Structure 1
Amino acid sequence: MRLDIKHWEMLNAIDKTGTLRQAAFVLGITQSALSHRLAEAERRLGGLLFEREGRRLRQTAAGRAMTQTANQIIPALQRAEFDFQQMALNKTTVVRFGIAAYSYYHWLPAFLKVMSKKEPDIQLELVASATQNPMKNLQHGDVDVILAPGHLAIPGIDAIPTFQDELVLITPNQHRLASKAFIEATDLTGEDYLTYSKSAQPGFEYERFIRPSGVVPHLVTVVEVTDAIIELIAAGFGVSILSRWAVQSAIKNGSVSAVSVGKEKLDLNWSALIRESEPASSAARVVSRRLAEWFKT
């Protein structure tokens, strides 16, 4: 390696603060010392990381790529040090956990109780932001285990099956479709449709149910938070096709109604995703196995 850790820290600090002066303050050195450090890094690499425009710095294309890498490795190293301190003090292993697609945690307290009894040396830390870009967060080490719906075949990722679910149409209680045994795709014609994703997810309702029919809902609105979608549906602002499991609290308390999608229904499998590189005895694999056991019972 041509660069030392101090150079990677420098790139991360400059990107976060925007100026050499502020970056030097964050790093606890003088601006002159940071300028020398930057020049040293460029000399070692044999090219410019930044172009000078008066007192301002502008990243070169190569510099931007290096900065993106710095922004991945510095937080990862900081987390590793933090986890080490936690383990050294408490003799526990921290496993960061998140859910893809749905922000739904009603089941988590019960699972945490089981984990505390069966795996007292593992501490689960919820990463709510993992809902956005879950695969990227997993691959970059921001999260260790992702509970995810759908069929996922991704290089470098292991999927441990956890439970089977169903995609259902969620409607207001008094909606014209609420009393049907199941809906056909044509039933969505003219409906205002709410979705949590800006893009069609493989294995979900658009690919398997809506697109093959050629039906186009009247209006499609993206609402990125599942809880907000439920509140809007309950208030009569549209319908949506969602995981039955993920919104079962709202179904059970009568806030909304659920209708099967198609006569054969749309099944949805959930899996615990971990990095393929995780050793067989790693805490992340233990958590994924415990998840599968817990959902089966």
Structure 2
Amino acid sequence: MKPYLDLRHLQMIQAVIATGRITDAADRLGVTPSALSHRLREAERRLDVPLFTRMHKRLRQTPAAEYLAVVAERVLADLTRAEDDVRRMNAGIQHVVRLSVEFYSNYRWLPAFLSFLKSRSSAIDLQIMAGGSTQPLNALMNRHIDIAVVSGEQRQTGLTLIPLFDDPLLFIMPPGHRLETRDYIEGADIVDEPFITYTKVPRPDREFARLFRPTETYPKWMSTVELPEAIVELVASNLGTSVLTSWALQSALAEGRIRGVPLTRQGITIRWSAALRNEDMEQDNPIRIVAELMAEWCSLPGRGLHVA
């Protein structure tokens, strides 16, 4: 039986792909080019497949190397997190809970919540994982994170949702816009308004299904921008309008860079929840403890993730 590749081989593959040259990769790894060449030949001999081909004095990865690079990124990231966990444990931390927030990167709430968490459980540390924000439920099921803060209606087998807070959707516009003095916005008010959206995939609890479609009135679609902060900057620069949850807008609204008006007379609100795996719902599980403490903190007057 041939021996398996080790971490040195995975690091080598990453370095060669990143630099394209043995000499540059060797310099990055702190080894000699001859030692790295030997390591590359050893890996190819163990796998019995080529990892790189030479093209115009540079090394180009084969599909095998490309696949191993993906695996290497995950393995090395897991190892780094494990090392960080051990260091935290030595500092009195017994549990590390990894959390990601869907779509939004508003973390002004984080210092206050960490203080609240430490006051209730000093042995638990919270680690923010930004990489899980685009597909947090997938990251949760793949065990890359432990808690996903998600919005709206979520239905996925194997997950439990702990409600955190309800947040209104706002129609946002630049200062001086013709609609900024309205008490609320109806679909007919924004016909042909230049509109920037973060997704054109209709969701049953959002503006498309609850504002545009019922009245068959639609804005003028301008562009799709998947980063709320970028949408805010475009709106503030008078390059369009949009609809976002108020949680993402507190700083820009307070600074007067944009204006926000609720949708419809009744309002359209979005439920934010902490999603965690069913297997982590045991009473003393630190993941459940953090999720429930988040819910408790969000219920405090003048506190919570929805407060900037």
Which of 282, 286, 304 is the equivalent residue of 1:283?
Answer: 286
| Counterpart check, 1:295 vs 2:291 | no
> 1:74 maps to which residue?
76
> 2:246 maps to which residue?
244
Which of 197, 222, 228 is the equivalent residue of 1:220?
Answer: 222
Correspondence list, 1:80-229, <5 A: 80-128=82-130, 130-135=132-137, 138=140, 143-154=145-156, 158-172=160-174, 174-195=176-197, 197=198, 199-200=200-201, 202=203, 203-211=205-213, 213-229=215-231
Structure 1: gaps of 5 or more residues: none
Cα shift at 1:68: 1.0
> 1:20 maps to which residue?
22
For the residue of structure 1 that corresponds to 2:70, the secondary structure is helix
Identity of aligned residues (%): 36
Moved more, 229-238 or 26-35: 229-238
- TM-aligned CA distance change 1:28 to 1:172, over 3 Å: closer
User: What RMSD in Å do the two structures reach over aligned CA positions?
Assistant: 3.2
Cα shift at 1:104: 1.8
Cα shift at 1:115: 0.9
> Structure 2 CA distance, aligned partners of 1:130 and 1:66?
21
Verify the 8 A CA contact 2:170 2:262 in the aligned structure 1: yes
Which of 25, 30, 36 is the equivalent residue of 2:38?
Answer: 36
Cα shift at 1:32: 2.5
Structure 2: gaps of 5 or more residues: 301-308
Verify the 8 A CA contact 2:93 2:122 in the aligned structure 1: no
Cα shift at 1:41: 2.4
- TM-aligned CA distance change 1:26 to 1:177, over 3 Å: same
Verify the 8 A CA contact 1:169 1:258 in the aligned structure 2: yes
> Structure 2 CA distance, aligned partners of 1:168 and 1:189?
16
Verify the 8 A CA contact 2:100 2:148 in the aligned structure 1: yes
TM normalised by structure 1 equals 0.81
Correspondence list, 1:252-291, <5 A: 256-274=258-276, 278=280, 280=282, 281-291=284-294
AA matched with 1:48? P
Verify the 8 A CA contact 1:72 1:140 in the aligned structure 2: no
- TM-aligned CA distance change 1:109 to 1:89, over 3 Å: closer
For the residue of structure 2 that corresponds to 1:183, the secondary structure is coil
AA matched with 2:211? F
AA matched with 1:81? E
AA matched with 2:293? R
Cα shift at 1:233: 3.5
Cα shift at 1:238: 3.0
Verify the 8 A CA contact 1:167 1:261 in the aligned structure 2: yes
> Structure 2 CA distance, aligned partners of 1:56 and 1:264?
62
Cα shift at 1:16: 3.2
- TM-aligned CA distance change 1:69 to 1:140, over 3 Å: farther
- TM-aligned CA distance change 1:15 to 1:146, over 3 Å: farther
Cα shift at 1:291: 1.0
Verify the 8 A CA contact 2:16 2:59 in the aligned structure 1: no
- TM-aligned CA distance change 1:285 to 1:38, over 3 Å: farther
Q: How many residue pairs align between the two structures? A: 296
TM normalised by structure 2 equals 0.79
Verify the 8 A CA contact 1:50 1:59 in the aligned structure 2: yes
> Structure 2 CA distance, aligned partners of 1:110 and 1:38?
49
